[in-house]
A and B are shown apart, each in its own frame.
Chain A
């Protein structure tokens, strides 16, 4: 028996689906305005203990010890910049893996999966709202950070965007694989929290990675995000880099292709496994 599907998937229909998903997430996000506002303050709260701790290591607000590793005595600008970039990284982690868990909990995952939309498109759509919100909250964070902690960036902002692009695209590869893992294990919180926290530590979001003990340094150097954060900081606040900047860019581009390829392949393989097991609707 031949069945003729009623759906007529085209590029336009995919874009419409993408728009619908983004709109839904956007609407849901702003439905809880207190949560939205707290997103600006949340990262600032995380770095406040570092600020006070840093005061204890500084003389006249200058962290001389810190500059031996990083090339700058302004540890708060270093950390604030790392925190902002980390928010974008988390947006992709949370945006995809956690959104799938939310869909599972609210019982719409299986029905969404039955629609004739590419599954990776569903994942990308889930991250878009998060990225837009992160861009807005990051601006608020930098403004507030400037007022409270004295953030200042004297470098070229446009140049700083060049390493961000391959870094974020490569991160989507990570995100795809991670989302598939969440589908399989059906528990996102621990996975998301632990992995994003580990990535945050080892990519040097709060400190220069050369301050890591020697046995942990290879972990940091194996993460593409380390080079992304390093290059952005070098462009904006003139810190020392681990490798020459052009080499860091080459590495980021290579990592981007590799991660997208591995991430997509892992997602397809695990998603097939979940459908075979029939556990898509369970949570």
Chain B
């Protein structure tokens, strides 16, 4: 005898339900974020101390009589290194924080033991990832603002460029920076060894994208690799927009490349997330860590 049971779900899925779920995730993430006030310290201290390590090393390399600095000027064609390093390291910090915050968002849920139960709710699952990115973007804008002010007042960096062009670069960079974060989160949830992946990706950015030196110093093969990384274009565009008066034409190519990379990484991010989601349901391993 075949018995059938009709189960009537209480859930009413739809567009508004998805938006509500997304909003709930955003609210939860924001509450967790402000719950630990040390983020305020981080926001003010990191933009200063992270580039400071490189700036002071450059100062030591310059020498007491400035002979090293003359060599630097001859080799790179740059007059000063402080603003150059500050902008490069700021972009690196942005990507690094996104990798930890967005890349770890699902993994953290897994570690806390709430991922499996959340997954069982009749919500749009991508909302978990997207929702954790939105408060992150807000905090990143705050960090960039604080960084700019600190560089101008503490490091005496002359921001001769345009604020609007700098904002345009930031907007154009968001899809590739966060797309990479989405892809990363999906890989981490499957492979579990999140630290190693963060170290790898941020290490690649650190070495190949020229955060503290002009790319011309790198060997030829490394320069080729750097052309395939969106962060190279972000750093170049940001430096040009914020520090020079060259205008839109000097960053037009970078913006085009950033939009192309952005579309690519968002697509890869969503695809990897869908694959991970399907795999998680098949293997039933989503709750394991």
Contacts and interface: CB of A to CB of B under 8 A. Distances in A.
A263 to B, nearest CB: 21
Contact of A68 (B38, B54, B64, B192): B64
A280 B111 CA distance: 19
B38 A187 contact: yes
Given A38-B195, A66-B68, A49 B207 contact: yes
Contact of B213 (A49, A185, A191): A49
Nearest to A212: B56
A279 to B, nearest CB: 14
A57 B71 contact: yes
Nearest to B81: A53
A42 interface: yes
B193 A190 contact: no
Interface stretch (B39-47, B121-129, B137-145, B254-262): B39-47
Contact of B50 (A42, A197, A206): A197
A190 B38 contact: yes
Among A37, A41, A69, A200, the one with the most B-chain Cβ atoms within 10 Å of its Cβ is A69
B56 A53 contact: no
Nearest to B35: A187
Contacts of A66: 60-61, 63, 68
A56 interface: yes
B41 A194 contact: yes
Q: Is the interface of A mostly helix, strand, loop or mixed?
A: helix
A1 to B, nearest CB: 39
Interface in A212-261: 212
A33 B198 CA distance: 15
A158 interface: no
Contacts of B62: 57, 65
B67 to A, nearest CB: 5
A108 interface: no
Contacts of A70: 60
Q: Is the interface of B mostly helix, strand, loop or mixed?
A: helix
A57 B61 contact: yes
B54 A198 contact: no
Contacts of B218: 52
Contact of A49 (B41, B54, B76, B196): B54
B75 interface: yes
Interface in A36-60: 37-38, 41-42, 45-46, 48-50, 52-59
Interface in B203-219: 203, 206-207, 211-214, 217-218
Contact of B53 (A33, A38, A105, A201): A201
Interface string A62-84: 01111111100001000100000
Given A66-B63, A69-B63, A201-B49, 19 more contacts: A32-B195, A33-B193, A35-B193, A38-B195, A41-B203, A42-B203, A45-B199, A46-B206, A57-B68, A65-B60, A65-B63, A67-B63, A186-B36, A193-B42, A197-B50, A197-B53, A201-B52, A201-B53, A207-B57
8 contacts: A32-B192, A53-B58, A56-B217, A65-B62, A66-B60, A106-B111, A207-B56, A212-B56
Interface of A: 32-35, 37-38, 41-42, 45-46, 48-50, 52-59, 63-70, 75, 79, 105-106, 185-187, 189-191, 193-194, 197-198, 200-201, 206-208, 211-212
The 3 closest A-B pairs by CB, nearest first: A65-B68, A65-B63, A45-B203
